[in-house]
A and B are shown apart, each in its own frame.
Chain A
């Protein structure tokens, strides 16, 4: 009575039910794949300012605080505006890539030194090299607010009329350069000459 009773399952009957977990898993995996590809790369944010002109501003230069620049100074050729600060480790991480972009391809980059200590910023550039054509000082973050900046680093691509055509939140790395920035610059008609002498 209490002996374990053995009743061999007919393989045919129990067989399919055994694959239910696999089917469930496959279903979730499909959702996961869809989710990843639909939602995965959210770095390309639709910015409120995308395809709008760069906001009006007036800011002193980092290296020469007596000179003041404004929106008009950004007009004339396509350029990158990079929002950075010394308190931002990711900025430090992307610094090498910015240097490479200016050195190898001659793309002008204007820095926006965001909520930072100008002395620290100057020391930073002296120490690690300066990829920027010039730097705007945004000590109180006002330009950042007008730009809808979330944090640093962020990089904006402006066309020759000063219109924002691309925005990157987060670091610029070789992948972003290759897949996004370089094509966007080419689309603006910029010829990327590769001065890759020493790499």
Chain B
């Protein structure tokens, strides 16, 4: 019964969104205050209804209501309760319900915080968000309904959640990612609203900035978490694969990163407005494209849990309507953006333009590599080809290095115009120090040297040193948005150093080991004590026992080869000794003749920096929200309202 109530609530939310997408828009067109004011209430209503639907399904999971088909195929009575709750987004239908709930939360948040915006502008924005939500809800209700009952055949017990999803990383990863994807709809809605009203001034840029920063921060954290999960759970020590599904989340990230930088120029200097609008449309479109890639099965990956051409057609049609509509509107309206702001070749505007250029080129490369195999097969009628990680690395790495070069100089470049001579005189000591340390540090700490590593460390230091100097210079007037930028940029540098060093100096060995044998890898002794049988709650495993001697330090590691009983699948469970400076990563291959095993040994220096840096970036994005500017805006407008 409760499930039916939940289903009904979602249906009602759909109806509310029909009203939301029409009434405030009509009100804005006619200047009808009452209609415009409805936007706020309707936004809250759709969220409350969706929350009801979501809780109803959660209830079905927690109470093991296997008459609900979705519960039956994704849960089990023996599953621990926290996994029952998270199993809700373990497969397509439920994860899409979560997606709409998160969208609902964003819509409501915009409605509650739109008091400082011009009424018609806010009303249009809410209507556009309502329209987007309408599309999602239609998809949920008609093509992926998680509330469906499996009658008359009610299973006694459920099929269980995929064991891989019974993991902290995968509990948190999808919601974060969705927060990011869906969050870009806010910038999109503001952009469309600005285009509709013809008011493409700094107001919309200022209004969208905090939302975009927040969405970007979530997306960054989500991607970092996914990468970390892949690293510890997949048993081969990789942390980024250029898998189409990873790319699907990375493309909106690149567009979003370009967007938050371009927005700052639009807000502060009024430049690049038309370009910023386009980026806002692009970031959201790429989020939808990500959904299309993942859910249509056009590119296959294990993430593609629902492969269904009908769903693909729907998402493609939806993509066509929303993005095609937005770009048509852009084509019709963007030329009315009149202002041309003057800036010198050597200016912060140019630097941010370079940032955008590099990010958009990276985006184009990733886009090309991701969709090339599909286009190729479609155009040749079945010839098959693939684009491997070397393609992406080859194109992507140089772009990021150039980006880092500009980023290090950025704090000393001013708006409008900067004297080249003063810039050089400030920068050369930093550059010298960065390069010197970039050579010395790896020599001293790792007693190894390679061009890639020196480049990564030097450029990382270049960014950290110049930003630190700038921080010191501005220490008396630090704002939250400056802190946010500073932390995010330092995070970028840390990630880059991590990627450079771990790619350059990782030791990866596949070896054959007999019980009792000791292997020496990079001054570490690895003693293999053999393999024993152990059994877990829902699996049996062969557990390898290793003792590692690293300097004066001894520790044991127990990698496992698990066989999950419910599904009969074999999984490699790596054992990792984590550390800020290096990870030691062991996993079992297969048993070989005699008492020997194939063993994979990785030593990965600074691999944790990759995720640490990404988390700092996310933190920076969130920090910038605390800026007083956004609060003051609110106070000022309410003062204006009372006056």
A and B touch in the complex (CB under 8 A): yes
| Residue positions of A touching B, CB distance < 8 A | 2-9, 11, 14-15, 18-19, 21-22, 25-26, 28-29, 31-36, 38-42, 87-89, 92-93, 95-96, 99, 115, 127-129
Alpha-carbon gap, A39 to B374, bound state (A): 8
B591 at the interface (CB under 8 A from A): no
> Shortest Cβ distance from B362 into chain A, in angstroms?
17
> Shortest Cβ distance from A128 into chain B, in angstroms?
6
Q: Are B338 and A7 in contact (CB under 8 A)?
A: yes
Q: Are A19 and B298 in contact (CB under 8 A)?
A: no
CB-CB under 8 A from B316, the residues of chain A are: 29, 32-33, 36
Q: Are B334 and A18 in contact (CB under 8 A)?
A: yes
Beyond A35-B298, A42-B297, A99-B153, whether A15 also contacts B335 by CB under 8 A is yes
CB-CB under 8 A from B297, the residues of chain A are: 40, 42
Q: Are A18 and B338 in contact (CB under 8 A)?
A: no
Beyond A21-B327, A128-B153, whether A36 also contacts B73 by CB under 8 A is no
CB-CB under 8 A from B229, the residues of chain A are: none
Alpha-carbon gap, A29 to B375, bound state (A): 11
Report the interface size for chain B: residues with CB under 8 A from the other chain. 51
Main SS of chain B's interface residues?
A: helix
CB-CB under 8 A from A88, the residues of chain B are: 567
* Residue interface mask B327-339, A partner, CB < 8 A = 1: 1101110111111
Residue of A nearest to B338 (CB): A8
Q: Are B377 and A92 in contact (CB under 8 A)?
A: no
Q: Are A22 and B378 in contact (CB under 8 A)?
A: no
By Cβ-Cβ distance, the 3 closest A-B pairs, closest first, are A89-B159, A22-B327, A19-B331
Q: Are A32 and B278 in contact (CB under 8 A)?
A: no
Beyond A36-B313, A127-B156, whether A31 also contacts B278 by CB under 8 A is no
Q: Are B330 and A18 in contact (CB under 8 A)?
A: yes
Q: Can you identify 5 A-B contacts, CB atoms within 8 angstroms?
A: A11-B335, A21-B281, A39-B374, A89-B159, A93-B73
Given A11-B336, A40-B312, A89-B567, 4 additional A-B pairs, CB 8 A: A29-B316, A31-B371, A35-B378, A39-B374
CB-CB under 8 A from A87, the residues of chain B are: 566-568
> Shortest Cβ distance from B87 into chain A, in angstroms?
12
Q: Are A22 and B155 in contact (CB under 8 A)?
A: no
B85 at the interface (CB under 8 A from A): no
> Shortest Cβ distance from A41 into chain B, in angstroms?
5
CB-CB under 8 A from B379, the residues of chain A are: 31, 34
Alpha-carbon gap, A32 to B313, bound state (A): 10
Alpha-carbon gap, A32 to B296, bound state (A): 11
Beyond A22-B327, A39-B298, whether A92 also contacts B374 by CB under 8 A is no
Q: Are A29 and B324 in contact (CB under 8 A)?
A: yes
Q: Which of A14, A95, A128 contacts B335 (CB 8 A)?
A: A14
Q: Are B342 and A4 in contact (CB under 8 A)?
A: yes
B72 at the interface (CB under 8 A from A): yes
B150 at the interface (CB under 8 A from A): yes
